[in-house]
Amino acid sequence: MKKTIYILMFALIMGACDEGFEELNVNPTRPSQVDVSTKLTAAQLFASSERYDNWRAGLIYQSTMMQHIATTAGYWDGDKYTWNRGYASSLMDRYYGNAVKSLEDMLVQLDEEGAPDEMKAITRIMRVFVFSRLTDLYGDVPYSEAGKAVLEGILTPKYDPQSEIYADMLNELQEAAAALGSGTSGFGDADIIYQGDQAKWKRLANSLMLRLGFRLIKVDPAASQQWVTQAINGGVMESNADIFYVPHTAGPEGVNRNGNGEVFTVDGNPRLSKTFVDFLQAGNDPRLPILGARRGDGSTDPADLQGFPNGLNAQMLMDMTGEENTDAYAEPNRNIITGEDAPMFFQTYAEVEFMLAEASVRWGLAGDAETHYNNGVRAAMEMLSLYGDGGVIASGDIDTYLANNPYDAANALEQINTQYWAATFLNEYETFSNWRRTGFPVLVPVNFPGNVTNGTIPRRMSYSESEQVNNKANYDEAIARQGPDELTTRVWWDVQ
């Protein structure tokens, strides 16, 4: 698998060489088209993406708004609800030119080459995941015409309404799941996520359907229940062996590295939020010494791990505590979870179990809510072993945690989704979306001087400034339909 990743960028570069030469200059020994399997590897890495957008949209904004991380650094705008348009648009800026374009190209190539339906289904599932991140973060986005500048000459794609994007994404997942069997797809080991295992891709399609179906809970509860039911009946993730994640290496090319890990390599400012640490400490959570370490000396003793309050700059910290630095506070544990070769999680079995628990609470679906809740907590703790031996939590410690923090039927939705918040640490795109959907955990906003949200937690990110010039008509139509291009505007499914 690592060999596949290592040769990826070389293969892509070679496939693009000599573009525009006449037939006389074509090397007859070179393929005219990059192999579609190599393109899948690229698309999966592009979906995980690089330092640029993981730093800006993922960590600087969403991790701090969701109070997983806090910092005094002024450029960490999400911690203080200030607005850097370039940071806010970073996922859009990177995804369209990389992941979206790659997947659209793949679908055309698969058709031209008469590839099996299962290969198309896997590509369609990856495409849904990529677009779900985009539309959940921004709302209305280019969708039906996106990634087709070369294919169809569409240089200024229209912005599709999120309601229509969601309808199509759910249909895509339904059709993709139906096209998948139980064997190994033609992608084989070029599929660095599931190694071509069709059964796992089928369970992923239904698990993503479960996630997107739940997104509709505020805007269309009946449709939400319908899609959630269909997803459960179709078969969702069954264990941590089904987790949807990209394994990374530390090189040789940047695209092979975990983008979050690249951030932590160069930025020593992030600390674990007081909100997050307080939650973990209150339950004597065995994840705390895996997720956090004291900045000053690296201690992982839970008694030494202090969370940092959100919404402070250095002067405010000095005025409040007399402290000049934040070395006494916990940061993400650099010995376990912040490596450039760390896995990048997209959707986990723990999340699925928490959603099954919620489906049971809301509609009596999927069996016993308490069982699913316990399964979710256990899976969230056991999955940390994917970071290496330092992430292993003993089964007995998980048993003790569950005994001391039992399922509470009277506060089930809050408890389930607060655990969901804890389980999605560093997958901040999902943390932010699920918080907007459920309102849990209950987060106390900051009110930093000069914030642009009137002291409320943002509800979306803003579009690329270049779109106001290069795609003005479609941009204007989108904001006329959705609302101002501001951090406080709600996306379609996030109704009040």
DSSP letter string, 224-273: HHHHHHHHHHH----SGGG-EEE---S-SSGGGS-HHHHHHHH----EEB
Query: H-helix or E-strand containing 356?
Result: helix 349-363
What is the per-residue pLDDT for 32? Answer: 63
User: Is the pLDDT assigned to residue 103 strictly greater than 70?
Assistant: yes
- Is 80 exceeded by the pLDDT of residue 380? yes
Determine which helix (DSSP H) or strand (DSSP E) holds 330, and give its type and residue range: strand 330-332
- pLDDT tens per residue across span 263-303: 999 999 999 999 999 999 999 999 999 999 999 999 999 99
Express each pLDDT in 460-481 by its tens digit: 999 999 999 999 999 999 999 9
Task: Read off the pLDDT of each residue in 205-234 and give the average, rounded to a whole number.
Answer: 98
**pLDDT at res. 3:** 39
Given a cut of 70, whether residue 318 has pLDDT beyond it is yes
DSSP state of 159: E
Give residue 434's pLDDT: 98
| Sign of the four-CA dihedral 285, 287, 290, 291 | negative
Q: Is residue 393 pLDDT above 50, yes or no?
A: yes
Residue 271 φ then ψ, to 5°: -125, 155
Mean pLDDT confidence for 211-235 = 98
Which of 148-157, 329-338, 341-350, 395-404 is least confident? 148-157
**Across residues 162-191, what is the average pLDDT?**
98
Asked which of 21-30, 98-107, 322-331, 441-450 is least confident by mean pLDDT, the reply is 21-30
* Lowest-confidence segment of 13-22, 50-59, 75-84, 161-170 by average pLDDT: 13-22
pLDDT tens-digit profile of 108-129? 999 999 999 999 999 999 999 9
- What is the structure's pLDDT at 10? 35
Mean pLDDT confidence for 357-377: 98
**Nearest 10 degrees: Cα torsion 176, 94, 115, 111:** 90
Percent of the chain with pLDDT over 90: 91
pTM of the model as a whole: 0.94
**Confidence band of 29 (pLDDT split at 50, 70, 90):** very low
Q: Which of 19-23, 32-36, 73-77, 166-170 has the lowest mean pLDDT?
A: 19-23
CA distance 306 to 331: 9
Could you tell me the two tokens for 348? 């986990």
For residue 339, give the DSSP letter: -
Residue type, 36: V
Rounded distance, CA 302 to CA 205, Å?
A: 38
pLDDT band at residue 181, thresholds of 50, 70 and 90? very high
Per-residue pLDDT reduced to its tens digit, 239-274: 999 999 999 999 888 889 999 999 999 999 999 999
Query: How far is C-alpha 102 from the chain's CA centre?
Result: 19
Higher-confidence residue of 53 and 254: namely: 53
Q: Who contacts 313 (Cβ-Cβ below 8 Å, separation ≥6)?
A: 72, 74, 80, 448
Question: Is it the case that residue 180 has pLDDT exceeding 70?
Answer: yes
